[in-house]
């Protein structure tokens, strides 16, 4: 391991499973930490979450226990199977935790205590230990948290509907899990900073519900400020027009505009050869465009359908008007600008995706994670100390 990477000195035990906790584990692994994933004898449940494309494909060189879902969050780790319902498994965990810096857990409240894997127990012999605990609804609520349920309960599915009267719609990635992962990273980094000053570890608790509510941002502020519930607008924006609506240009190209200022709107109108729209009192300001949303959207839909989409996008880029093509996942990953986010295949897994999207010239970029997602069989031996 490159000792100049930011977390090259850190040892992380990952007791968490599914997505949020493992995302945090891979984050630390990508930045140099040694991350040991502790799994029950049944293994992380996401090992079994396979798409029909995976199950119908010919057997690959990789172990069948590494699903695409599991591979999304487990690069750069080693694994160890421990049965924490047994005294022997608990003793082995305590031995490992005594020299760890961070423990990641995602137990329902009360379960960690039953397994003797809770913060008071593990920190008793390691006061510098930082313990990150993810729950669904907070440390006092034993209800299990699942992303789809939280998307519904926190307002996201309501807002993600195609429009008023349309059915609520779940987002296609586990967005609440990912938001909670980011909250936990922030909490752990804060705890690491605090430990540098005090020498003491900390318990960091993050719930999916709190993470979801914190991320409602302007939608929650609208409800709190106005007293009115935000309504679904499809991909449109409640307070900016045109912003987010999908248009279809001649030739079938679908594109999105993100016009955030009156100056950008004037440039859009010029690019569409409709400069008079920018002078129209109904559209001169963003407030006016919001008030006359339906009229403007109808005009834009008709006009954009008459022009070549790629030519329009090029002209908008030249004029510094925010716009982009609607791409599939494959198209997005194939872009030249996306290549730095991809991990080369290893261990029979074709490729991976980084969780760390920031860079700094002050430390070297870890060009390659030298271990693929761990197979279901243990890749770590208790005969050797935690690296």
Catalytic residues: 177
| Contact by Cβ (8 Å): 371, 79 | no
Q: How many CB atoms lie within 10 A of CB 76?
A: 27
Phi (first) and psi of residue 203, to 5 degrees: -100, 125
Report residue 63 CA to chain centroid gap.
26
- Plot region of 320 (φ>0 → left; ψ -120 to 50 → alpha; else → beta): left
The residues pairing with 329 across neighbouring beta strands, listed in sequence order, are none
Cis peptide before 242 (omega within 30 of 0): yes
Report residue 128 CA to chain centroid gap.
28
How far is it, in rounded angstroms, from Cα 253 to Cα 238?
Answer: 25
How far is it, in rounded angstroms, from Cα 256 to Cα 236?
Answer: 10
Q: How many CB atoms lie within 10 A of CB 281?
A: 8
How far is it, in rounded angstroms, from Cα 61 to Cα 336?
Answer: 28
How far is it, in rounded angstroms, from Cα 327 to Cα 24?
Answer: 28
Report residue 261 CA to chain centroid gap.
29
**Which tokens sit at 202?**
């900390």
| Contact by Cβ (8 Å): 14, 78 | no
| Contact by Cβ (8 Å): 353, 68 | no
How far is it, in rounded angstroms, from Cα 27 to Cα 14?
Answer: 12
């Amino acid at each position: 391991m490159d000792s100049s990477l930011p977390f090259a000195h850190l040892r992380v035990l990952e007791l968490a499973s599914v997505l949020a906790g493992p995302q945090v584990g891979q984050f630390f692994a990508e930045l140099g930490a040694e991350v040991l994933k502790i799994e029950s004898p049944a293994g992380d449940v996401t090992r079994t979450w396979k798409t029909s494309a995976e199950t119908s494909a010919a057997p690959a060189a990789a172990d069948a226990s590494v699903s695409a879902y599991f591979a999304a969050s487990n690069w750069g780790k080693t694994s160890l199977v421990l049965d924490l319902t047994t005294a022997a498994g608990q003793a082995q965990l305590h031995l490992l935790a005594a020299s760890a810096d961070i423990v990641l857990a995602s137990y329902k409240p009360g379960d960690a205590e039953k397994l003797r894997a809770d913060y008071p127990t593990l920190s008793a012999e390691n006061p510098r230990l930082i313990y990150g605990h993810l729950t669904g609804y907070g440390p006092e609520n034993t209800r299990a948290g699942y992303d789809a349920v939280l998307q519904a309960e926190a307002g996201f599915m309501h807002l993600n509907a195609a429009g008023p009267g349309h059915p609520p719609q779940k987002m296609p990635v586990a967005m609440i899990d990912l938001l909670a992962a980011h909250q936990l990273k922030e909490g752990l980094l804060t705890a690491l900073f605090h430990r540098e000053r005090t020498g003491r570890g900390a318990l960091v608790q993050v719930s999916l519900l709190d993470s979801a509510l914190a991320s409602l941002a302007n939608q929650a502020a609208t409800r709190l400020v106005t007293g009115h519930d935000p309504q679904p607008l499809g991909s449109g924006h409640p307070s900016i027009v045109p912003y987010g609506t999908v248009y279809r240009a001649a030739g079938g190209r679908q594109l999105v505009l993100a016009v955030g200022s009156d100056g950008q709107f004037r440039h859009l109108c010029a690019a569409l050869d409709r400069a008079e729209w920018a002078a129209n009192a109904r559209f001169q300001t963003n407030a006016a465009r919001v008030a006359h949303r339906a009229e403007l959207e109808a005009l834009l839909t008709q006009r954009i359908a008459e022009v070549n989409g790629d030519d329009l996008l090029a002209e908008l880029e030249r004029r510094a008007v925010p716009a982009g093509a609607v791409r599939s996942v494959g198209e997005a990953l194939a872009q030249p600008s996306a290549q730095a986010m991809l991990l080369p295949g290893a261990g029979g897994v074709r490729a991976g995706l980084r969780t760390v999207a920031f860079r700094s010239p002050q430390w070297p970029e870890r060009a390659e994670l030298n271990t693929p997602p761990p197979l279901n069989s243990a890749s770590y031996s208790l005969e050797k100390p935690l690296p």
